[in-house]
């Protein structure tokens, strides 16, 4: 076993974003990942439900566009060899959790890989709506959240991640993700969703 420390990364208390230029992307908050009876349960994911719900409430009140990614797999998916069967299309585990159900006007992006941009219309839709800033929350931090954040940054969207809005399987994975987003992708890590404000 090898143990290494996570390098320090900057955490901001507050950030203000223009509502019309910002989208919230909720990554894979599905039953299989968030609920204890799910097939690929992330124990800390439940702790993020209330912060994400609070963020979505603020976003909707300011007309911020909201996207969800929905991880999706079918029979014989090669990814099952890595993680076992999970979020299989049409199953209970595949569904977005009831507490964060998409509302009218929200857009659900069905994806088959970790990255919310890979093989999906997400980039095109963000451009259609004139989005410059992406606030990314959800699970799993070092997998689908990080890959989606990376793709957003590589397309020159500003990436903002609240610490209480993402979850991981280990503490190291959690902090390594935030450090990577802050350092490599020049994103903004905010202490809490309470520190994210929207303005016209």
Residue-wise pLDDT for 64-111, tens only, equals 999 999 999 999 999 999 999 999 999 999 999 999 999 999 999 999
Of 40, 63, 31, the residue nearest 131 (C-alpha): 63
Q: Which helix (H) or strand (E) holds 157?
A: none
**Residue 72 CA: distances (Å) to CA of 32, 33, 89, 96, 156:** 11, 12, 6, 11, 26
Q: Which two tokens stand for residue 35?
A: 């609920």
Q: Exposed (0-12), middle (13-18) or buried (19+): which is 46, by Cβ within 10 Å?
A: middle
Q: Angle at Cα 122 formed by Cα 117 and Cα 14, nearest 5°? A: 90
107-111 vs 65-71, strand pairing mode: parallel
Contact call for residues 127 and 155 (beta carbons, < 8 A): no
Whether the pLDDT of residue 41 is over 90: the answer is: yes
Look at residue 3 in the predicted model and tell me its pLDDT: 86
Whether the pLDDT of residue 32 is over 90: the answer is: yes
Q: Where are the domains of the chain?
A: 15-199
Q: Specify the pTM.
A: 0.97
> How confident is the model over 164-187, as a mean pLDDT?
97
pLDDT in tens, 115-132: 999 999 999 999 999 999
Length of the chain: 200
Catalytic site positions:
28, 111, 144
CA distance 148 to 70: 12
Q: Which CATH number is 15-199's, of 1.20.120.920, 3.40.50.850, 3.30.200.20, 3.30.590.10?
A: 3.40.50.850
Q: Which helix (H) or strand (E) holds 29?
A: none
For residues 110, 196, 194 and 32, what is the CA-based torsion angle, rounded to 10 degrees?
Answer: 10
Cis before 140 (ω within 30): yes
């Amino acid at each position: 076993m090898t143990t290494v420390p996570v390098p320090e990364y900057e955490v901001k208390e507050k950030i203000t974003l223009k509502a019309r230029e910002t989208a919230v992307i909720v990554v894979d908050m599905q039953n299989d990942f968030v609920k204890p009876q799910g097939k690929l349960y992330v124990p800390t994911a439940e702790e993020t439900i209330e912060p994400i719900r609070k963020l979505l409430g603020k976003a909707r009140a300011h007309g911020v566009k909201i996207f969800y990614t929905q991880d999706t797999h079918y029979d014989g998916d090669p990814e099952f060899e890595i993680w076992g069967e999970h979020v299989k299309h049409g199953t209970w585990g595949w569904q977005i959790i009831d507490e964060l159900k998409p509302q009218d006007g929200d857009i659900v992006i069905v994806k088959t890989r970790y990255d919310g941009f890979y093989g999906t219309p997400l980039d095109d839709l963000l451009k259609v709506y004139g989005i410059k800033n992406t606030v990314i929350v959800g699970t799993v931090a070092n997998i689908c959240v990080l890959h989606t954040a990376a793709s957003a940054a590589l397309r020159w969207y500003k990436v903002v991640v609240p610490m209480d809005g993402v979850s991981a399987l280990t503490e190291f994975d959690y902090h390594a993700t935030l450090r990577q987003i802050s350092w490599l992708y020049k994103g903004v890590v905010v202490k809490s969703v309470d520190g994210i404000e929207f303005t016209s």
